[in-house]
């Protein structure tokens, strides 16, 4: 009998899940639509049906040790999802309590960026580290912070919102209602805003001119930069400069051994890593210089969301 964790990652559009063993091997995975279910109870019924269907196709006999859930605005202490912007299930969803109607195993929930950090710790590049930070660069900027071998949750479960550290008090409007937050500059959406500003400020020809804001993607900007497009390269330079300066601040707080970058923008390789490292080092307090590694997440090309969620369960069981 093989011991497995069920990892579930809830996204605004789809929910993906998989059965993962302690070594990080995926036995099976599948998905259902999240947004097709306006009500959380109908969603849970559909999810349970699909999970049972996939479980019955497994070739190995398994023991389900528990369930880990990664969710937007997930609260580890309460097992709730609170005010998630892309979900329609109400302000406060008691998710783990509802899931317990279907499964009598340990169930743990946290936000998606914490899950990414736990995945890095259990299966990825941070196995031997006690102090590190994972920065997820998607539509916004998320962060999971390990201090002394543990995820930092804070007193209410919402610690580690580095995406909403202020870069400029008169800066870009943020979705959180404030101005100039880090994620308005450093995220897939942030770099699009930067490209549009550069296109307005400079007259250089660019393959990015003529692409509407809604069509423009971080992948297009990466491709342009790799092909030598000045606006594309400059957009990463600007993004890396702001990220590097803020990472220098974060280092003073928790003294991490490494900071891992995860998500679309990290695929731009040296276009984002070089300016980020340069500006972090230039702005670090001398005692921290040349000590902190900036690395790509080692889970990037794998089913990271499911791995992170299942790693949460393993970490809980090993406490
Ligand atoms: Zn904000």
Q: Which residues, listed in sequence order, are joined to residue 20 by a DSSP beta bridge?
A: 5, 26
**What is the C-alpha R_g of the chain?**
20
Tell how far the Cα of 244 is from the centroid of ligand 1, in angstroms: 18
Comparing 302 with 309, the larger pLDDT belongs to 309
Tell how far the Cα of 96 is from the centroid of ligand 1, in angstroms: 27
Tell how far the Cα of 300 is from the centroid of ligand 1, in angstroms: 25
The answer, yes or no, to whether residue 281 has pLDDT greater than 90, is yes
Residue 86's pLDDT is 83
- Which tens digit of pLDDT belongs to each residue from 26-76? 999 999 999 999 999 999 999 999 999 999 999 999 999 999 999 999 999
Residue 199's pLDDT is 98
d(CA 135, CA 144): 7
**Sorting pLDDT into bands at 50, 70 and 90, what band is 216?**
very high
Tell how far the Cα of 18 is from the centroid of ligand 1, in angstroms: 32
Tell how far the Cα of 188 is from the centroid of ligand 1, in angstroms: 15
**Comparing 181-190, 258-267, 298-307, which segment has the lowest mean pLDDT?**
298-307
- Which tens digit of pLDDT belongs to each residue from 40-52? 999 999 999 999 9
**Sorting pLDDT into bands at 50, 70 and 90, what band is 283?**
very high
Angle between helices 188-201 and 218-226 (to 10 degrees): 60
Residues 208-223, mean pLDDT to the nearest whole number: 97
Closest CA to 3 of 319, 317, 303, 305: 317
The answer, yes or no, to whether residue 262 has pLDDT greater than 90, is yes
Identify the residue whose tokens are 């007193």.
155
Residue 300's pLDDT is 82
Strand duo 2-10 + 62-71: pairing: parallel
Tell how far the Cα of 89 is from the centroid of ligand 1, in angstroms: 22
Give the chain's mean pLDDT.
Answer: 96
- Which tens digit of pLDDT belongs to each residue from 125-141? 999 999 999 999 998 99
Residue 17's pLDDT is 97
The answer, yes or no, to whether residue 301 has pLDDT greater than 80, is no
The answer, yes or no, to whether residue 85 has pLDDT greater than 90, is no
Residues 310-318, mean pLDDT to the nearest whole number: 96
DSSP letters spanning 83-108: S-TT--S-SEE-HHHHHTTT--S-EE
Tell how far the Cα of 211 is from the centroid of ligand 1, in angstroms: 26
**Sorting pLDDT into bands at 50, 70 and 90, what band is 218?**
very high
Centre a 10 Å sphere on the Cβ of residue 201 and count the other Cβ atoms it contains.
10
Residue 238's pLDDT is 98
Closest CA to 261 of 279, 278, 231, 240: 240
Centre a 10 Å sphere on the Cβ of residue 246 and count the other Cβ atoms it contains.
24
- Which tens digit of pLDDT belongs to each residue from 139-177? 899 999 999 999 999 999 999 999 999 999 999 999 999
Tell how far the Cα of 196 is from the centroid of ligand 1, in angstroms: 20
Residue 303's pLDDT is 87
The answer, yes or no, to whether residue 319 has pLDDT greater than 90, is no
d(CA 79, CA 63): 23
Max distance between CA atoms of the chain, in angstroms, equals 65
**Sorting pLDDT into bands at 50, 70 and 90, what band is 302?**
confident
Q: What percent of the chain has pLDDT over 70?
A: 100
Centre a 10 Å sphere on the Cβ of residue 236 and count the other Cβ atoms it contains.
27
Tell how far the Cα of 280 is from the centroid of ligand 1, in angstroms: 22
């Amino acid at each position: 009998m093989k011991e497995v964790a069920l990892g579930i990652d809830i996204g605004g559009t789809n929910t993906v899940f998989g059965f993962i063993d302690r070594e990080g091997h995926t036995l099976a995975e599948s998905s259902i639509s999240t947004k097709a279910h306006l009500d959380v109870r109908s969603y849970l019924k559909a999810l349970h049906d699909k999970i049972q269907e996939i479980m019955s196709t497994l070739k190995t006999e398994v023991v389900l040790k528990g369930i880990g859930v990664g969710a937007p605005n997930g609260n580890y202490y309460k097992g709730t999802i609170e005010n998630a912007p892309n979900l329609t299930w109400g302000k406060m969803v008691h998710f783990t309590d509802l899931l317990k109607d279907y499964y009598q195993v340990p169930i743990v929930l946290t936000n998606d960026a914490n899950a990414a950090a736990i995945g890095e710790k259990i299966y990825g590049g941070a196995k031997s580290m006690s102090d590190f930070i994972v920065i997820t660069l998607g539509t916004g900027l998320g962060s999971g912070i390990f201090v002394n071998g543990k995820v930092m949750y804070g007193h209410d479960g919402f610690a580690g919102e580095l995406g909403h550290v202020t870069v400029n008090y008169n800066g870009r409007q943020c979705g959180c209602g404030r101005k100039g937050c880090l994620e308005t500059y450093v995220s897939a959406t942030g770099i699009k805003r930067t490209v549009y500003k550069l296109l307005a400020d400079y007259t250089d020809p660019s393959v990015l001119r003529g692409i509407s804001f809604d069509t423009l993607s971080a992948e297009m900007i990466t491709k342009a930069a790799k092909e030598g497009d000045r606006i594309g390269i400059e957009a990463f330079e600007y993004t890396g400069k702001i990220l590097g300066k803020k990472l220098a601040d974060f280092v003073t707080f928790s003294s991490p051994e490494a900071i891992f970058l995860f998500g679309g923008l990290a695929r731009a390789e040296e276009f984002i890593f070089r300016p980020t490292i340069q500006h972090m080092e230039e702005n670090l307090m001398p005692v921290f210089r040349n000590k902190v590694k900036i690395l790509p997440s080692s889970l990037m090309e794998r089913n990271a969301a499911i791995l992170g969620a299942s790693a949460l369960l393993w970490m809980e069981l090993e406490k």
